[in-house]
Structure 1
Amino acid sequence: MSPSLRVLYLEDEAADAELVQDTLAMEGIACDVSRVETESGFLTALQQGAFDLILADYALPSFDGVSALKIVRQQESDLPFIFVSGTMGEEIAIEALKIGATDYVLKTRLSRLVPAVHRALREAGERTERKKAQEALRRSERELRQVVETIPAMVWCALPDGSNLLMNNRWTEYTGSSGAGLGWQAALHPDDLQRHMDAFRACSAKGLPFEDEVRFRRADGEYRWFLVQGMPLRDEQGKILNWYGIVTDIEDRKRAEETLREQANLLSLTHDAIFVHDMNLRIRYWNRGAEELYGWTAREAEGKISHELLQTVFPVPLEQLIAELLSNGRWEGEFVRTTKDGTKVVVASRWSLQRDDKGTPLAILETNNDITERNRAEEERERLHQLEADLAHINRVTTMGELTAGLAHEIRQPISATVTNANACMLWLKRDHPDLEEACEAARRIMEDGKRATDIIEHLRSLYKKSPPKRELIEISDIVHEIVVLLQSEANKHSIVMRTEVPSDLPKITADRVQLQQVLMNLMLNGIEAMNETGGILTIKSQFGQDGLLLISVSDTGMGLPAEYSDQIFNAFFTTKPQGSGMGLAISRSIVESHGGRLWATANSERGATFHFTLPATVAA
C-alpha cells in the first residue's frame, strides 16, 4: 500500500477522524487525511486536491454524505467513496450503494474499514479485474434464474418459418385460441414480436437451439412473461425439418429475480458474504464476499447444500429455523461454520424469504458477517474485567491487612466504652435508691457504642468481601465519613489531622459503594504515607460543578509529587514506596473511569500534592 495515500474525510467529529486514521495506520495504510465539515469546505478540497479515496459520515449538522456522493459522482466518477457512519441502516446503505457509493462501514465495526479500503482502492485501479467481476455477475444473474422457475409448460411444434403445427391444450386454456399457423403471434405482446421473430430466424439460419423470453396475453387480456425454448429436428443432410419446444410461465420467477438481483447485486458490492438458496437449501448464487470468507469459488459452491458444504452448527434445530423463517419471512442468528481450509468462523446470519404473488416460497437470500474476532475480543474484555475486579479485591485485602493494628484500635474504643457504660449502669441500679435516669442514659450510650462498633465491622466486611459491582444511589459525605473513621487511628499515629469539607446538600451519585470506598482509602492512605514522618494535614473536599460532575479532592502537605515520575504514577506496578505493589493508583483510576469519571494529580503551590477525581452526579428531578 502506498505510503502517500490522500484521503478526503467528510466528518464533524475530530476524534472519529483520528480513530479512523489510527485504524488505517495500524494495518500499514499511512495516509494524509484532509477533514472537512461543510459543503463549501468539501467543494474547495475537491478542487484543490487530487484524492485517492473519500470517506464520509452519513449525516452532519450542515451537510450530508449522500449530497457529497452525488457531487463526487458528477466530478470524479471513478473515485472510491466509502460511508463511515454510526447511524446508517441497511436500507439507507442500499440506497447509497444505488447512487454510486463504493461501500459502507459502521463506526461500531471499524474492523471492516481496512478490508473495505483495500478493496475500494484495488477495484479503482484494476479495470481488468472489474470487467471479470462484471462478467461473473452477469453469469451469476443467468444462473440465478433457475431459483424460481415454475411449471406448467405449453408444448409446441413449428415449421422452420415459425408456423405452428401443434399447440397443446395448455396453450388453448391460457390464450383462448388454437395458435395454429402464425395465429399464435396474436397473443404475443406487440413490443416483443419483432425481436422474438428476429431471434428465432437467426437460430434457424445457424441451426442453434432457440430460447427467448416474451409476454403472452391471457384470455382475460393480462400479459405474463414466458420462456420460449426450442430444439431443431434435422434430416440426414442437417436440414431443419421442424422445431419442438416448450413455453414456461416465468412471471413469478421474473419478479422474484428482479428483487433478488437488485438485493444481491447491490449487497455484493459490500464485504458481506451473500448467497441464495432454493427451498431445498441448495446454493444457487454465491458472491465474492462468500468466496473470500469461506474459500470456495462460486463454481465450487453453487449446487451444493449450504449447511452440508459449510458444516454449519445451528443454534436451534434446522427444522425450527425453517419453520420460523416460513412464519415470519425473516430469521437472524449466529452460526459456527467451517471454511474450505478447516477454520471455524462465527457468523451473524440474516435470512430473508422470497415469495411469489400467491405467497409460495421461492428462494432464501442469506447474508453473513464474520464476527469471530469480535466475539474473541468480547471474551478477552470480560476476562480483563474479571482480572481487574480480582486485583481490586486483592488490593483492598492487602491494604486492610496493613491497617490491622489501627483498625483493631478503632473497634476496641467503642467496645471499651460499652463495658465502662455497662458498669456505670449497674452502679446506678444497685444504689439504695436506684437512679433510673442515669441508668437509662448509660444504657443509651451502650447502644450508641455498640452501633458504632457494628458499623466499623460492617465497613470492614464490605471491603474484605469479594462480590460483583453493585451500583446504587450514594451520598458522597457518607463514604468520606466511613473512610475517615477507618483511617483515624492511622492518622493519629503519625500526628496527621484529617479535615473534611463536604457539603451535606451535594447531589447523590450512582456508584458501587465498596469500589468508591477503595478509591478514597487508596488516595487518603497515600496522603498519610506522604506525611508519616513529618505530620501534617489531610484535607478531603467535594463540590458540584456546572458541568454536572461531582469533584472530590484529597490533598496532603507532604513531600509532593516527584517530578521525574509524575507521568508514571498511575501505571500498573509502578511505585516509589519500598514495600508498595504499584497497583493502588492504577486500580483507583480504572474504578473511576468505569464510573464515567476521571482521576488525576496536581502539585500544591506550597507543599504536598492533591489527587482529584470526578463522578457524574445524579440530580433529582
Structure 2
Amino acid sequence: MEYNLQDLPQISPVSSSATPPAVPSSDKLDGQRKLVEQELQQRDQTIRLQANLIELAHDAIIVRNPASRIVSWNKGAETLYGWAAHEILGQVTHTLLDTRFPQSREAVDNILERKGEWEGELIHTCRDGRQVIVESRQVLVRDEQGCPAATLEINRDITERWLRDAKVQALSETTRQMDEFLGIASHELRTPLTAIKGNLQLAKRQLNRMLKQDGITKEEVASTITAVQGLLDRAERQATIQNRLVNDLIDVSRIHAGHLELQIEPCGLTGIVREVVEDQRDINPTRTILFENPTMEVPVLADIDRVGQVVNNYLSNALKYSEETRPVEVRVELEGSIVRVSVRDEGPGLPPGEQERIWDRFYRAEGVEVKSGSGVGLGLGLHICRTIIEQLGGQVGVESKEGVGSTFWFTLPLVQSSGS
C-alpha cells in the first residue's frame, strides 16, 4: 500500500523556547511511594484482621458464589455442621445442609435479589444427621457493574432457645386448656347433680302429698306412683351420665400416668358391636340405627368392655350431633388381615383442621351444635377411644365433610386361625 505525504499527520517542530515537562524530584517520589506502601499495609492488616475475626467467630459464616457453591467456610461453620472447610468447598450449600426454608428457596432468593438481604429461621441437617434451627442473615454482594458476585450468610444456632420457647408455649397452652377444662368439668359435673337433686325433691313432694291426703283412691295412688317412677327414671339417667363423666376422668388420669390396663382375651367383635347397637336402640327408640355386619363372627384379641366403650362413644356422638330424623349407620367390614368398624352420621361434619385435633385430650370442637340428647361432655371420650384402640394394635380415624356428615372408624387385627 502506498501513502502520500499529505496523508501523514503533520508534526510541528518543537520550539526551542517551549518549557519541558516538570520531573518530580526523587525525594517527592520516595514520599509518595512510602504513602502508598503504608496504605497497602494498613489495608492488608485490615483484611487479615477481618479474616481472623470471621475465622474466630462462633457463628457459622459462609460465603457462596452466585451458583450457591461454597467459597468460604469458617471455624464456626465447621463446629456447627461437622464438616471441615476443605471437605465442602465447591459444594452447593442447600444440598449439603438439606436446607428447609420457612416458605421456599425461590421466595428467599427473590427477596435477596430485590432487597439485597434476608433474615429468618432455617432448619439445617448436620453431618451426624442432627437437625439444627438457625437464625440466618444473608447479604447479597454485588460487583461494580451491579451484578450478584457473592452471598454472605451468617447462621446462629438457636435450637436450644427455640425448644425452650416451644416448651414454654406448650406449657402455656396446656395451662390454658386445663383452666378451660376445669371450668367445663365443674359445670358439666354439676348439671346432672342438679337434675338428680331436682327429680328426687319432686318425687319426695309427690309422695308426701299422697301420704297427707285422706281417703285417697287407688287411681290417685297409681297416678302418683307413675309420676314418681318417671322422676326416678330421669334421676337414674342423670346418674348414668354422671357416672360416665367420672369414669372418663378416671380413665384419662390412668392414661396420663400410663396405667390404663386392658383385659385382653379372644372375643367376637361382631357380637360386641351388635350388643352396643341394641342398647342404643333401646335408649333411643325413635332413632333409626342401621347395622351391617359379616354373616360370620369376627375373631379378635381385645378387651370386651373397652371395645364396647369405644363403639358406644362413636354411636352416642353420632346420635347426639345429627337430627333425630336422620339415620345412623354402623358397619363391621373385613379388610384383609384387619377388621374395620365404622359409624356414619349425617350431622354437620367437621372442617379439615378439626379432624386431627378432636383426638386430643380436653379438646372440644367449636361451633358443633348438639342436635339431640345430652350435650354433656368433657372432651375426653375420643382421646380415650384412641388410646384403647392403639393399645390393642389398631388405628382410629375420621372421614368428614362439612354439611354432609362424618364417619368415625377404628381397625383391629384379626386373630388368624391355626389352619390359615
TM-score with structure 1 length normalisation? Answer: 0.28
Asked which structure has the greater RCO (Cα within 8 Å, sep 6+), the reply is 2
TM-score with structure 2 length normalisation? Answer: 0.38
